[in-house]
């Protein structure tokens, strides 16, 4: 799995670079615009990457599989669900910057349902809630946020049920 | 109390191991992350969000499905989703369709799928995204239903 993941990542990057190259041949202006947008996004993502790396190091250093199972494993109970929702809500930056950390936590014993909960609860963007209220109203913002929090748990439970059989990959 | 040298000699190898392990995992994530950023920038260049508005306005149910689909394939900051949603709402598109778009924008990731599949497993990514797609539609109907009840 590790080797496949490593190779797959490089193949994916090579494919996207090829797509950029093809765009540069057909639409040079569009490719330039895309490249400028890439540089700007990289600048925005960089601080989040530092945070992700620090968290990965802390997880690797201090979170033993036994501790992970106790906090986020099957027996973690209500605390595990609440921790997962809170982690999703406070996490920042693009979602793909968090996949590696969640994969590492799952390898250490984090419940699959809670991985799904973290990813779903990310839909509640704390810093953007005032803007959501500005565009659609305070009541809408509150109802939508509560429903998303509730659905994150429902989705986690359904995911775990559907993924009970071991992955074939 | 243990001497400092003893504590250090025990602590350092574990810290070094953790540093090497996390550096390795981080390096493994980098090509996927760079690929995602390049892909996002390319899609944003080919498909600006303003061109999406022309798709809506045919029928209620179709708009909801379209909202969830557009949100699923859309890229960029969630704020862009709120702005697009606000514009669609002002343009006469239903609140249910707009909500489906906003929710799927932040929960479903068609473009991020390769990265999610590589790091968390293809089956996990597929089931999660499908579930999130249908949840976005359910949340859209529920949100508007609750809003009506409250008012």
pLDDT in tens, A107-128: 889 999 999 999 999 999 887 7
Least confident piece of the model among A54-58, A85-89, B97-101: A54-58
Q: Does A1 or A46 have the greater pLDDT score?
A: A46
Q: A69 pLDDT exceeds 60?
A: yes
Contact criterion met (CB < 8 Å) for A125 and B106: yes
| Chain B residue with minimum CA distance to A64 | B18
Rounded (5°) CA angle B121-A92-A70: 60
Residue B12 pLDDT? 67
Nearest-CA distance B58 → chain A (Å):
22
Residues of B in contact with A135 (CB under 8 A): 82-83, 85-86
Pick the residue of A21, A28, A128, A136 with the most B CBs within 10 A to test the interface with B by mutation.
A136
Q: A93 pLDDT exceeds 80?
A: no
Residue A89 pLDDT? 87
Say if CB A78 and CB A117 are below 8 A apart.
no
Residue A26 pLDDT? 92
Residues of B in contact with A15 (CB under 8 A): 35
Rounded Cα gap, residues B53 and B38, in angstroms: 24
**Count of CB contacts below 8 A, A vs B?**
195
Instruction: Name which of B128, B138, B124 is nearest A150 in CA terms.
Output: B138
Nearest-CA distance A79 → chain B (Å):
23
DSSP B23-76: HHHHHHHHHHHHHHHHHHHHHHHHS-GGGGGGG--S-HHHHHHHHHHHHHH--S
How is residue B8 written in tokens? 């250090």
Residue B99 pLDDT? 95
Rounded (5°) CA angle A74-A52-B77: 100
Residue A33 DSSP code = H
Residue B41 pLDDT? 84
Nearest-CA distance A164 → chain B (Å):
11
Q: What is the CA radius of gyration of chain A?
A: 19
Contact criterion met (CB < 8 Å) for A49 and B33: yes
Average pLDDT over residues A23-39: 92
CB nearest A147 (choices: B34, B36, B143): B143
Number of C-beta neighbours around residue A139 at 10 A = 13
Contact criterion met (CB < 8 Å) for B14 and A61: yes
Show the low-confidence residues of chain B (pLDDT under 70): 1-12, 48-53, 75-77
Say if CB B123 and CB A168 are below 8 A apart.
yes
Residues of B in contact with A140 (CB under 8 A): 143, 147
CB nearest B35 (choices: A12, A53, A112): A12
CB nearest B42 (choices: A19, A53, A57): A19
Q: What is the mean pLDDT of chain A?
A: 86
Q: How confident is the model at residue A20 (pLDDT cuts 50, 70, 90)?
A: very high
Average pLDDT over residues A3-26: 86
CA atoms within 13 A on the CB side of A22: 9
Average pLDDT over residues A125-134: 82
How is residue A155 written in tokens? 């989705």
Contact criterion met (CB < 8 Å) for B89 and A136: yes
Residues of B in contact with A5 (CB under 8 A): 28, 118-119
Contact criterion met (CB < 8 Å) for A154 and B135: yes
| Chain A residue with minimum CA distance to B98 | A136
**What is the pTM assigned to this prediction?**
0.77
């Amino acid at each position: 799995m590790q080797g496949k993941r490593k190779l797959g990542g490089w193949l994916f990057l090579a494919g996207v670079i090829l797509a950029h190259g093809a765009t540069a041949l057909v639409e040079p202006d569009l490719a330039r615009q895309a490249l400028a947008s890439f540089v700007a996004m990289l600048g925005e993502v960089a601080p989040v990457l530092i945070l992700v790396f620090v968290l990965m190091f802390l997880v690797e250093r201090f979170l033993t599989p036994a501790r992970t199972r106790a906090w986020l494993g099957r027996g973690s109970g209500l605390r595990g669900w609440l921790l997962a929702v809170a982690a999703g809500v406070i996490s920042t930056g693009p979602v793909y910057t968090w996949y590696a950390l969640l994969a590492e936590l799952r390898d250490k014993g984090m419940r699959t349902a809670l991985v799904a909960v973290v990813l779903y609860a990310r839909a509640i963007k704390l810093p953007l809630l005032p803007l959501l209220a500005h565009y659609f109203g305070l009541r809408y913002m509150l109802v939508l946020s509560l429903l998303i929090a509730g659905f994150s748990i429902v989705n986690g439970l359904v995911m775990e049920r559907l993924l009970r059989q071991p992955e074939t990959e | 109390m243990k001497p400092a040298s003893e504590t250090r000699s025990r602590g350092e190898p574990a810290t070094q191991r953790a540093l090497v392990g996390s550096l390795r995992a981080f390096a493994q994530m980098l090509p996927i992350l760079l690929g995602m950023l390049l892909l996002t920038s390319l899609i944003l260049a080919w498909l600006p969000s303003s061109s999406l508005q022309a798709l809506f306005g045919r029928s209620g149910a179709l708009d909801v499905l379209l909202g969830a689909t557009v949100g699923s394939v859309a890229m960029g900051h969630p704020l862009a989703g709120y702005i697009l949603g606000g514009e669609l709402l002002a343009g006469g598109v239903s609140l249910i369709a707009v909500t489906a778009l906003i929710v799927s924008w932040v929960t479903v990731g068609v473009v991020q799928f390769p990265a999610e599949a590589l790091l968390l497993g293809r089956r996990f990514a597929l089931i999660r995204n499908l579930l999130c797609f249908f949840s976005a539609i359910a949340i859209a109907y529920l949100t508007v239903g609750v809003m009506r009840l409250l008012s």
